[in-house]
Structure 1
Amino acid sequence: MELLLVLLVVVIALAFDYTNGFHDAANAIATSVSTRALTPRAALLLAASMNMVGALLGTGVAETIGSGIIDTPAGPSGLIVVLAGLLGAIAWNLITWWKGLPSSSSHALIGGLLGAGIASLSTVHWSVILDKVVIPMVASPLVGFALAYVVMIAVLWAFRNAAPGRTQRRFRLAQTVSAAAMALGHGLQDAQKTMGVIVLALVAGGLHEGTEIPLWVKLAAAGAISLGTYSGGWRIMRTLGRKVIELDPARGFVAESVASSVLYTTAFVFHAPISTTHTITSAIMGVGATKRASAVRWGMARSIGVAWVLTIPAAATVAAVLYLVLSLFL
């Protein structure tokens, strides 16, 4: 029974990883597609490839998820906690994908684990959640917005006398590099979260010790998120690429470059599981604000903000209810 539960959790974790890929595909490619720097299919192929590479570059974020959020009890009860947390995250991912809202898969997963952990009376590491979830959750969008605004102002000043047509063509080419960097950061952050959850399940099932990530877990998570990314996330892509602001190649390049730099810093330096969605969306708003404040469609930004605020409590609530139901049957 316990081995079957472990296998079920691993399969559901990879399913979450797949939904993460198609839900967050827009993070890496919406700006490049909307500025016509890349065709949709080429952008998806690039993003899927770089997601695979990024997923294999580090384990700091995975270890935070796998051992820093909650301490699951050993045996079936711990496995049900992880299973309920994953199902709560998947449910919220599908709801926001259907609505076309770029919410955070990362925070959905953290919320799911938190809700199931509370419902099961597991130990919750609130200090880790504050330091590596709440503070980065607030800080990363603010940093993304401010840095993108400042860098865009610098770019506009540096190219103030350049021919507009030629300059935009060059930035369109440069977006191939910035889109690849963004996809690499997405794999570095989001695939690692699934690795951490699988290790959490393996530990609860008595099949693994410590926080080290086995190679097969890395490869499985990297493959699942890459396949999900390649399947696309067109609803959210339209929101990020068109409904927040009409982007030009220069602004697309700056938004992607700034967002990817924030992702690398938090993953390698702080091991903090931040939201790629929050980071790129705020960077897009930052470069858009350099046109004029009214260039950003603040009504759509407000809807996105509501989804951000609701993500952790909504996923936590679904996961808590699922834990109570599943524990009766399993």
Structure 2
Amino acid sequence: MTPLLFALIVVMALAMAYMNGFHDASNAVSTTITTRSLKESTALGMAAVLNLLGAMLGMAVIAVTTSWAVTMLGLGPVVSQLTDRPDALGLALLSLMLATFLWDLSTWWVGMPASTWHAFFGATLGVSLVVGSTAAWERLGLLLAISVVGPILSASFAFVLMVLIRRLTRTERVRPGHLRFAQTLSAGAVATGHGLNDSLLPLAVVVIAVGASGLPFSGEASLALMLPIAIAVAAGTLMGGHRIIRTIGRRLTDLTATQGLAAETSAAVTMSLALFGLETPVSTSQALASSVVGAGVARGPRTVRWKVARDVLLTWLATPISSAVLGAAILGVLLEAVGA
């Protein structure tokens, strides 16, 4: 792989990490901002710091190797197909990140929460088709199963939590201040989980590029990769994707502090079960949006704006398909342009 191509991959990985933080800032702060538990600037600052800490924690507790990165991203067949063509592999990685970046940008523009991970895995289908390899169907099948079961679990758990919390609030022991404090803690847990979860994506891409370039990889090199990616995710979070914040915090339903607490807690639990139980990433966007709907149904089905919920669901369904088309188109153009 040429030095220029490797440099482009690193720059694109940082850009994707920044976009991920910007796009998914709503996951941690939309409920706390909407219910006025925290000021917007305070909520975004807290989320940025916890995203940074979560990213460093997530990247520090894993053994960062090329085989780990390939397995994590489900790129085994693609990497095997392009082993003798490192420049083509580099263009494939670049195409995957460009497709993911463009889909995140598009969904942010229309204010729809969508999964960066699902966009990336969708793009791998298109790239696999172009390079003539099979897709990692076992990995993709697990992701698909989680993407179906995860939102159902999140919504159900949020519903149950909402019922329990509303019963507790009928006593004088639980006051509004207690709910706002608990909501802040649960939002912090989601922010930390998001950093831990989503920082692995750009890191894994760069690790594969390092292996394809034949560069030495050590503990110091690993840290040199981790820190800029963690900072990029945190910087994007600090800017905040306000369009998606409005969708989750205001357009899906009229959030209360009780509903926000139930939704954030449910999202944090779902993310933990998937990441540590199944050792696979889960969409924080799907976890929180479905939790908000579940908590809203507990207040009454009419409190949920089902047209918005339908649009969110359609965005989730469109994500892998659209990303596959984008990934295939971008790689096809790049290969044709450089003759790789």
| TM superposition score normalised by structure 2 | 0.91
| Matching residue of 2:70 | 66
1:148-192: per-residue Cα shift (whole Å, max 9, x none)?
Answer: 1111111222333338xx622221122221111110011011111
SS in 2 for 1:289: helix
Decide whether the 8 Å contact of 1:85 with 1:112 is kept in 2.
Answer: yes
1:46-65: per-residue Cα shift (whole Å, max 9, x none)?
Answer: 00000011112235698765
1:82-126: per-residue Cα shift (whole Å, max 9, x none)?
Answer: 100111111111111110111111211222233212211234211
Q: What amino acid is the match of 2:90?
A: L
Decide whether the 8 Å contact of 1:61 with 1:271 is kept in 2.
Answer: no
Please give the residue correspondences for 1:247-286 in structure 2 after superposition, counting only pairs within 5 Å.
Answer: 247-286=255-294
Structure 2: how far apart are the matches of 1:218 and 1:117?
Answer: 27
Structure 2: how far apart are the matches of 1:61 and 1:168?
Answer: 43
C-alpha displacement of 1:323: 0.4
| 2:165 aligned with 1:155 | yes
Decide whether the 8 Å contact of 1:142 with 1:282 is kept in 2.
Answer: yes
| Matching residue of 1:102 | 113
Cα pair distance change 1:221/1:66, threshold 3 Å: farther
Structure 2: how far apart are the matches of 1:40 and 1:158?
Answer: 28
Q: What amino acid is the match of 2:205?
A: V
Task: In structure 2, list runs of 5 or more residues that go unmatched.
Answer: none
| Matching residue of 1:128 | 139
SS in 1 for 2:132: coil
| Matching residue of 2:235 | 227
Aligned length: 326
C-alpha displacement of 1:208: 5.7
**Superposition CA RMSD, Å:** 2.1
| 2:153 aligned with 1:143 | yes
Please give the residue correspondences for 1:173-192 in structure 2 after superposition, counting only pairs within 5 Å.
Answer: 173-192=181-200
Cα pair distance change 1:238/1:213, threshold 3 Å: farther
SS in 2 for 1:58: helix
Cα pair distance change 1:100/1:231, threshold 3 Å: same
SS in 2 for 1:214: helix
Q: State the identity as a percent.
A: 34
1:277-311: per-residue Cα shift (whole Å, max 9, x none)?
Answer: 00000011111111111111000000000100000
Decide whether the 8 Å contact of 1:64 with 1:272 is kept in 2.
Answer: no
| Matching residue of 2:322 | 314
1:195-247: per-residue Cα shift (whole Å, max 9, x none)?
Answer: 1111122223233679x992222212111100000011111100010000111
Task: In structure 1, list runs of 5 or more residues that go unmatched.
Answer: none
| Matching residue of 2:8 | 8
SS in 1 for 2:215: coil
Decide whether the 8 Å contact of 2:69 with 2:207 is kept in 1.
Answer: no
| Matching residue of 2:130 | 119
Structure 1: how far apart are the matches of 2:216 and 2:125?
Answer: 22
Structure 1: how far apart are the matches of 2:303 and 2:217?
Answer: 52
Cα pair distance change 1:116/1:274, threshold 3 Å: same
C-alpha displacement of 1:78: 0.6
Structure 2: how far apart are the matches of 1:119 and 1:81?
Answer: 9
Decide whether the 8 Å contact of 2:124 with 2:135 is kept in 1.
Answer: no
SS in 2 for 1:313: helix
Q: What amino acid is the match of 1:70?
A: L
